[in-house]
Amino acid sequence: MFGKKYIIWGVLCLWTACLFGCGGPAKANLKLKQKNYNEAIPLYKEYLAENPDSAEARLNMGIAYLKTGFADAAIAEFETVLKSSPNHPDAVLYMGLAHLSKGKLDEAIVVLENYRNSRKPLVEEEVMHQMTLLEDLYASDKTLFEENPMIIVNRVETAVNNALAEQKRADRQALKMSKEQNNNKGCFAYDTNVLMADKSLKRIIDLRAGDTVQAYDVETEKMVVRKVTDTYRADQDHYYLINGELKITAAHPVFTTEGSG
């Protein structure tokens, strides 16, 4: 793919914040975010009656149960999520915390040892670190686990959430650097198909500001609809062919099941 000049096109999308509850039971998620757990639970039940396969709703209802002291009910919800998604990181995390809330450190550790999150390595590292701290704490003060286990649960959850926030900052910085590196260098060959909001395909050269496309949100790890704010063109002397189909420039990031690269 070297030795010629190729017309390369890029698309800039308008990214709006996806608040807690995008694409799901928004009212229940809002109650959960506001820590109105007793109000969130019946809303999740109502939603799950019509959408029993919603892992997001079931996970969040389990969290609400955990926060209101119903650890067994929470565990049942997390188990249901894990039956369909055995490696669901949030379900594994909160399953471990639910066992911890019952003062059962050994069972919590067994669950948390299965925590894997390749897309959020800082979070995975923190979960492993918290397991070590839990074992050390148990060795020095067993009574805390017996008398106030939710204090420990909240400590672990706070530490993991802090790691998640740090991971998001790192991801945003990496994305920003990637965009700066690719500024005016182009991204895709002109005939690359783009998935539109209505699931149709359009060549990238035919896109215009205002068009709506399907995009991947790196923070929520979901496909979302975004509006094109601008397009740009650049000349390149080569491109890379991925899987015999995708034509991209050298510096363009590629998301895989193991993260971005």
Structure tokens at 17: 């914040």
What CATH number does the domain containing 119 carry? Answer: 1.25.40.10
Q: Between these two residues, 188 and 21, which has the higher pLDDT value?
A: 188
Give 239 or 107, the one with higher predicted confidence. 107
**Do both 40 and 95 map to the same domain?**
yes
Residue of higher predicted confidence among 219 and 199:
199
The three-state secondary structure class of 242 is strand
Q: What is the pLDDT of residue 1?
A: 46
In whole numbers, what is the pLDDT of the chain averaged over residues?
84
Helix or strand (DSSP H, E) at 32: helix 26-33
Residue type, 54: S
Nearest C-alpha neighbor of 87 from the set 41, 118, 52: 118
Whether 145 is in a domain gets the answer yes
> Do 200 and 226 share a structural domain?
yes
Whether residue 68 lies inside any domain: the answer is yes
Domain shared by 51 and 104, yes or no: yes
8 A C-beta contact, residue 137 and residue 85: no
β-pairing, 246-248 vs 240-242, is antiparallel
| Residues 170 and 86 occupy one common structural domain | yes
Same structural domain, 39 and 121: yes
When pLDDT is cut at 50, 70 and 90, the band that residue 95 belongs to is very high
Write out the residue range of the structural domain in which residue 76 sits: 35-178
Mean pLDDT of 138-163: 93
Query: Considering 149, 178, 207, which residue would you say is the last residue of a domain?
Result: 178
Give the number of other Cβ atoms within 10 Å of residue 47's Cβ: 22
* Any domain includes 27: no
Of the ranges 7-16, 83-92, 212-221, 225-234, which is most confident?
A: 83-92
Structurally, how many domains does the chain consist of? 2
When mean pLDDT is compared across 65-69, 98-102, 229-233, the lowest value belongs to 229-233
Name the β-bridge partners of 227.
14, 212
Average pLDDT on 105-123 reads 94
Instruction: Say whether both 168 and 44 belong to one domain.
Output: yes
Mark whether 137 and 248 lie in a shared domain: no
Least Cα distance to 33 among 67, 3, 6 occurs for 67
Residue 33 pLDDT more than 50? Answer: yes
Instruction: Indicate whether 126 belongs to any domain.
Output: yes
Length of the chain, please? 261
Mark which of 122, 145, 178 sits at the end of a domain: 178
